[in-house]
Amino acid sequence: MKITRIEVIDQFKNDVLNVACDVSKAKLDYYSMNEHDDVQERWTGIVANADGAIRKELTELHEQSIRKGYRTLKIICEATGIYHRRLLRIARKMGFYTALVSAEAVHKSQVLESNDYSKTDSKDARTIFLVSQNGKQLQDRDLQKRWLLLRELNLNYERIEKEMTQIKNRLHQALFELFCDLSFKNDWIFKGKASEQIAELYGLNPYRMVAEGRSGFVGKLKRRKVRMQTINRVWRDAQQSSLFEQDGMLTEWLETEVRELFITLKQLQDRQLKLRYRMTGELDALHKLGELSIDPHAGPIGPFMLARILSETGSLRDFKHHRALWKYAGVNICEKESGKMKGQDKISKKGRSRLRCCAQQASLNLVVKNGLFGSYYHHKRQQGMAGNKAMLAVARKLLKLLYGLEKSGMPYNPQRVFESESQQFSKAA
């Protein structure tokens, strides 16, 4: 017989009344159940999702719970993006406990709660309560100050990345119609200084370039300090593209669109650069304040990618073990085994998808042959593992490494990454 003892912390004792809430933009439905004098009572209600209404209802619930012998409340809900934040913020300010439940756990428990597949707001509140009573609660991590700001900055950075991708796609389509024989690749178009100058002067319209004449075209670009080799190549492409007879009105419209898209792309690039500086600045501030042990400028990855990862994790000190961090990121391994059947192990992908993405992006520079995890990555590939799975394996290694650096407070030493604790002790002896 195996007996496992689990310590019951204060917020899970019987003097705390669980109140489950299903939150939407306009309202929230709540459900709670208590037993008093061998009588079971169910408390339900609907409240407007507004500060005054929430405070009033929570105050009344607290007063009623005290009469029934409870000490305080614990407000439980599932994450809804932004609409649940007001409820949890108010509950914390009023001195109540807060917790979250997994939306997937709620969805899969609905049949268990009522033996049907129906879905209503009141039923969702009951299901959230059932999930919480089974101990399937998640910690409500209340990020503060710089950690909260760092997360918001990363969200803005990701939004700008998506906007830039849309702009580049539109620009590529417009250039395909306008400058069909442009021989330069996307890096020259989207990142080169010469493309900005030509777009400002001519809107990358080959018909306008040819109409200007070679001498005028070359003279203007030379004054803009564009290389002669580039000028000659663009001129040849423009001559070739101008042979295609394009409708004049459409050409003028495409030229206008290209000019506007280049301006928008430049603005987004400037905003993105400012965000990078701000995020690394906040990371340096956290290190100086002692809230971060990892030196941002002397770690396995650069300060910006470290900032992106930590914006999603918050302080790594909040995790009791690196496996908890893996589970938070959704890179923990899910085993599939029953009797003699042994299925293929896969990662859960139940955690923060943005954290997995940032960890994989940060791992790109580590998997080159001379990189920190280069030999590990290429060994996995030689064993037949797919590239994306091998990258996820490296991301797991990276998160474990960052966790170890933060917990130990030791400076980063690449020679010690692949040594066990016993090997380090033997060297010290």
pLDDT at 105: 82
Residue 349 corresponds to which tokens in the numbers above?
């992908």
In what side-by-side order are the strands of the sheet with 138-139?
A: 39-48, 27-36, 16-23, 72-78, 97-101, 138-139
Q: Cβ(285)–Cβ(108) under 8 Å? A: no
pLDDT at 90: 94
Contacts of 158 (CB under 8 A, 6+ apart): 354
Q: Cβ(49)–Cβ(87) under 8 Å? A: yes
What is 153-272's CATH number? 1.10.287
Q: Measured between alpha carbons, how far is 183 from 105 in angstroms, rounded to an integer?
A: 53
Q: What angle do CA 132, 136, 142 make, to 5 degrees?
A: 85
1-37: per-residue pLDDT in tens? Answer: 767 665 554 444 578 999 999 999 999 999 998 876 6
Mind giving me the DSSP string for 50-85? Answer: SHHHHHHHHHHHHHHHHHTT--EEEEEEE--TTTTH
pLDDT at 106: 85
End-to-end CA distance of the chain: 41
Q: Measured between alpha carbons, how far is 43 from 70 in angstroms, rounded to an integer?
A: 14
Tell me the sheet residues that pair with 91: none
The candidate with the shortest Cα–Cα distance to 285, out of 264, 310, 263, is: 310
pLDDT at 11: 42
Which class is 10-142 in CATH?
alpha beta
Q: Measured between alpha carbons, how far is 390 from 411 in angstroms, rounded to an integer?
A: 27
pLDDT at 422: 57
In this prediction, the residues of the chain whose per-residue pLDDT falls under 70 are 2, 4-13, 36-37, 419-429
Q: Measured between alpha carbons, how far is 415 from 306 in angstroms, rounded to an integer?
A: 20
> pTM to 2 decimals?
0.84
Domain positions in the chain: 10-142, 153-272, 303-334+346-420
Q: Cβ(58)–Cβ(73) under 8 Å? A: yes
Residue with tokens 């080159």: 368
What b/e string do you get for 223-249 counting C-beta neighbours within 10 Å, with b at 16 or more?
Answer: eeebeeebbebbbebbeebbeeebeee
Mind giving me the DSSP string for 408-429? Answer: H-PPP-GGGTT--HHHHHHHH-
Residue 227 corresponds to which tokens in the numbers above?
């290389």
**Which ranges of 333-386 does DSSP label H, i.e. alpha helix?**
353-363, 374-382
SS3 state of residue 134: coil
The candidate with the shortest Cα–Cα distance to 210, out of 240, 178, 238, 243, is: 238
- Which CB contacts under 8 angstroms, 24+ apart, belong to 136-141? 136/101, 136/102, 136/105, 137/76, 137/99, 137/100, 137/101, 138/99, 138/100, 138/101, 138/102, 139/99, 139/100, 140/88, 140/98, 140/99, 140/100, 141/314, 141/318
119-145: per-residue pLDDT in tens? Answer: 787 888 999 999 888 888 888 888 888
What b/e string do you get for 264-282 counting C-beta neighbours within 10 Å, with b at 16 or more?
Answer: bbeebeebeeebbebbbeb
- Among left, alpha and beta (phi > 0; psi -120 to 50; other), residue 339 is left
Q: Measured between alpha carbons, how far is 242 from 205 in angstroms, rounded to an integer?
A: 9
Residue 402 corresponds to which tokens in the numbers above?
């960052």
SS3 state of residue 119: coil
Q: Measured between alpha carbons, how far is 22 from 124 in angstroms, rounded to an integer?
A: 6
